[in-house]
Structure 1
Amino acid sequence: MTGVTLNSVIKKYGETQVIHGVDLTIEDGEFCVFVGPSGCGKSTLLRMVAGLEETTGGEIRIGERDVTKLDPSERGVAMVFQTYALYPHMTVKENMGFGLKMNKIPKAIIKEKVAEASRILKLDDYLDRKPAALSGGQRQRVSIGRAIVRGPEVFLFDEPLSNLDAELRVDMRVEIARLHREIGATMIYVTHDQVEAMTLADKIVVLRKGVIEQVGAPMELYRDPNNKFVAGFIGSPSMNFLNGQIKNGAVVVPGLARELSMSVGSAVDGRVVHVGLRPEHLQVDPAGDTFSVDLTESLGGVSYAYLSAPTGERIVVEERGDERVSEGDTVGLIFDTDRVFLFDQQTEHRIR
């Protein structure tokens, strides 16, 4: 197996540039997830690695090889798509081995590779079935099996779980994580679902408008975001943001009754900021700032309360335990200023 390196990679469609000089190193055996909102360029970047999109500028290397101009078949990659793209008239084992058959690989080797992929993906009981007799999750496992038998240097996944229902998505996340542990291959995975990114990735690449906003381990991005976009995108529910201003070395927030005495770095007096608070870092307490409860969502072990301040500021609070707020209540909120994030309102960069 081997890693992937992108050097100043650019993609243009005519005069429209959609990938803006991306630099990225994915280590050998790493599970790297491209995440971001629709239209951020994550699938385009993946397809450029695969060779399905032409690279306008820059260099793509897989291991020691420059593959920028190579055909997809010469790159040593295998791709799993959002759609299963299985041949309906073929059995599971025929679907998985078809690519090898077309490359005139001996039947004995095909049988061996299909059997190994089937063992890894727990498909032994389904090898003689056709796709119509399989569930959505089983079909996606067959699609992954088709990639495994090719023995690629790099696996590429383009939103492979988006067609599955919620329960199957969870099951398949576990399957893909187990697959990575078992075969140890380099994997690049595209999703818009940050929960998938957090649970699967060794490294997350957060993209926006064709630019990398931040790269890091899941909890690194969660605990130490570089800007407001990353802070709001990583974490579910997303971070709360209140308007504030720096005055005399403290942070004044109209929605809160007290000034926040906390480090404001080198920020100048009068600077307007976004104050970031994660829902799980807030606590209901009568001694805190007063908010009214507009709505609650109970999910069993956890619930989310949607609150508003007298100034109109909105905030979401995570609650656990037996005693929880109800719609129409007036409650107080407290929090630790060590858990507060500050972002410049103009640049959205983190103030440290």
Structure 2
Amino acid sequence: MSGVELKNVVKTFGDIEVIHGVDLTVEDGEFCVFVGPSGCGKSTLMRLVAGLESITDGTIRIGERDVTKLDPALRGVAMVFQTYALYPHMTVEENMSFGLRMNGVPKDEIRRKVSEASRILKLDDYLKRKPKALSGGQRQRVAIGRTIVRGPEVFLFDEPLSNLDAELRVEMRVEIARLHKELGATMIYVTHDQVEAMTLADKIVVLRDGRIEQIGKPLDLYNDPDNRFVAGFIGSPSMNFLAADVRTGAIQSPALDQRLDLPSGKPADGTRLEVGIRPEHLSIDADGSYFRIDLIERLGGVSYVYLTGQQGERVIVEEGGSSRLQEHDHVGLAFNAADLRFFDADSGSRIR
């Protein structure tokens, strides 16, 4: 297996630059997830690695090789798409072995590779079936098996679970995580679903508008975001943000009903801030009255309480599943100041 290195990678379509000088290293054997909203450039970046799009500037290396101008077939990568792209008239076994047969691989080697991929993906009972006789999750496993038999240096996954229902998505997340541990392969995975990113990744690359916003381990991004965008994108439900400003050497926010000490960055008086805090770090203060409870989602083990403040602030609070709160009650918020994160209201940058 091999790692992947991108240096100052730029991609333009006509006069429009969609990837802006990306630098990234994916270590050998690492599971790296590209995540971000629609249109952020994550699939384009993966297609550049695969060679399905030509780069405008920069270099791409896979292992020790410069593959910037290499044909996709020579890069040592295999790609799994969100559509399964299986041949409907072929059996599972025939679909998985098709590429090897076209390349003239000996029959014994084909049989061995298909058997090994089938074992890893638990497809032994389905080898003689055709795709129409399989569930969506099984079809996606066949598509993954087709890449395994090729023995690529790097696996590329382009939103492979987006066509599955919620239950199958969870099942396939577990399958892909298990596959990575068994193969020890370098994998790059594209998704807009930050839950997939958090549960699968060794390293997450958060993208916005063709630029990298932050790179890090899942919990590092969750606990220590560099800016408001990352703080709001990573986490479900997302982080709450409340308007505040700096006055007389302290941070004040009407929604939080107390003066807060300045972070070490010491923003000046008059600076407009946003105070971020995650739903699980908030609790309801029954003696307060600033917020009205609009909705309570009672999910069994946990409840999510949706609040609206007197100035229109929207806040979500995570409570225990046995919460006795009622809709339309008026309440306040309780929190630990150590759980607050501060962001410049204009630039969105973190104030530490």
Q: TM-score normalized by structure 2?
A: 0.98
CA distance 1:294–1:264, change in 2 (3 Å): farther
Q: Mapping of 1:295-310 within 5 angstroms?
A: 295-310=295-310
Contact residue 298 and residue 321 of structure 2 kept, 8 A = no
- Taking the aligned partners of 2:340 and 2:282, their CA distance within structure 1 comes to 10
The one-letter code sitting in structure 2 at the alignment partner of 1:93 is E
For 1:43, the equivalent position in structure 2 comes to 43
Aligned amino acid, residue 25 of structure 1 = T
| Structure-2 residue corresponding to 1:212 | 212
Per the TM alignment, residue 326 of structure 1 is displaced from its structure 2 partner at its CA by 2.1
Point out where structure 1 has 5 or more consecutive residues left out of the alignment: none
Q: Residue type matched to 1:281 in 2?
A: H
Give the deviation of 1:323 after TM superposition.
Answer: 2.4
Is the CA contact (8 Å cut-off) linking 1:5 and 1:24 kept in structure 2?
yes
Q: Deviations over 1:8-44 (max 9, x none)?
A: 0000001000000000000000000000000000000
SS in 1 for 2:258: coil
How big is the shift at 1:243?
0.8
Calculate the TM-score normalised by the size of structure 1. Answer: 0.98
**How many pairs does the alignment contain?**
352
Partners in 2 of 1:6 and 1:24 — Cα distance?
A: 5
Contact 1:282 1:318 in 2 (8 A): yes
Shift of 1:256: 3.0
Counterpart CA distance in 1 for 2:299 and 2:60 is 44
SS in 2 for 1:255: coil
Q: How far apart, in 1, do the equivalents of 2:186 and 2:12 lie? A: 27
Residues 63-86 of structure 1: per-residue CA shift (max 9 Å, x gap)? 010000001000000000000000
Contact (CA 8 Å) 1:257, 1:289: kept in 2 or not?
A: no
SS at match of 1:269: coil
Please state how far the C-alpha of 1:255 moved relative to its aligned partner. Answer: 2.3
Shift of 1:264: 5.2
1:175 matched to which residue of 2?
Answer: 175
Give the match's secondary structure for 1:259: strand
Q: Which residue of 2 aligns with 1:200?
A: 200
The 10-residue stretch of structure 1 (115-124 or 272-281) with the greater mean CA deviation from structure 2: 272-281
Deviates more, 1:294-303 or 1:32-41: 294-303
State whether structure 2 residue 199 is matched by structure 1 residue 186: no
User: Equivalent residue for 1:26?
Assistant: 26
Partner of 2:280: 280
Q: Offset at 1:287? A: 4.3
Please list the CA deviations of residues 295-324 of structure 1 after superposition, one character each: whole Å capped at 9, or x if unmatched: 111222111111012222111111114124
Task: Give the CA deviation at 1:209.
Answer: 0.1
CA distance in 1, matches of 2:327, 2:61: 55
Q: Aligned residue for 2:158?
A: 158
Q: 2:64 corresponds to which residue?
A: 64
SS at structure 1 position matched to 2:259: coil
Distance (whole Å) between structure 2 residues aligned to residue 292 and residue 264 of structure 1: 33
Residue 88 of structure 2 corresponds to residue 88 of structure 1: yes
Whether the aligned pair in 2 keeps the contact of 1:205 and 1:212 (CA below 8 Å) is yes
AA at the equivalent of 1:5: E
Residue 116 (structure 2) pairs with residue 109 (structure 1): no
| Counterpart check, 1:266 vs 2:290 | no
Following the alignment from structure 2 to structure 1, what is the Cα–Cα distance between the partners of residues 135 and 226? 41
The residue identity in structure 1 corresponding to 2:191 is: T
SS of the aligned residue for 2:305 comes to strand
Q: Which moved more, 1:87-96 or 1:283-292?
A: 283-292
Q: Distance in 2 between matches of 1:118 and 1:254?
A: 60
Instruction: Output one character per residue of 1:128-168: Cα deviation in whole Å (capped at 9) or x when no partner.
Output: 00000000000000000000000000000000000000000
Using the aligned pairs only, state the percent identity.
70
Q: Contact conserved, 2:281 with 2:336, CA < 8 A, in 1?
A: yes
Which string of whole-angstrom CA distances, capped at 9 and with x for unpartnered residues, describes residues 95-130 of structure 1? 000000010101110010000000000000000000
CA distance in 2, matches of 1:59, 1:280: 43
User: Are 1:297 and 1:304, in contact at CA under 8 Å, matched by a contact in 2?
Assistant: yes
Looking at structure 2, the residues matched to 298 and 325 of structure 1 have their Cα atoms a distance apart, in angstroms, of: 11
Structure 2, unaligned runs of 5 or more? none
d(CA) in 2 for partners of 1:158, 1:147: 13
Letter of the structure 1 residue corresponding to residue 332 of structure 2 = G
Distance of 1:180 and 1:288 partners within structure 2: 49
Task: Indicate if the aligned counterparts of 2:29 and 2:186 stay in contact, CA closer than 8 A.
Answer: yes
Query: Does the Cα contact within 8 Å between 1:307 and 1:316 map onto a contact in 2?
Result: yes
Structure-1 separation of matches of 2:17 and 2:148: 34
Partner of 2:294: 294
What residue identity is the alignment partner of 2:308? Answer: S
How many Å apart are 1:263 and its aligned residue?
Answer: 2.2
Q: Is residue 262–residue 337 contact of structure 1 (8 Å, CA) maintained in 2?
A: no
1:246 corresponds to which residue? Answer: 246
Kindly report structure 1 stretches of 4+ aligned residues shifted beyond 6 Å: none
Query: Over residues 279-304 of structure 1, what are the superposed CA-to-partner deviations in whole Å (9 max), with x where a residue is unaligned?
Result: 11001123456311011112221111
CA distance in 2 between counterparts of 1:185 and 1:324 reads: 49
1:349 aligns with 2:346: no
Partners of 1:208 and 1:150 lie apart in 2 by 33
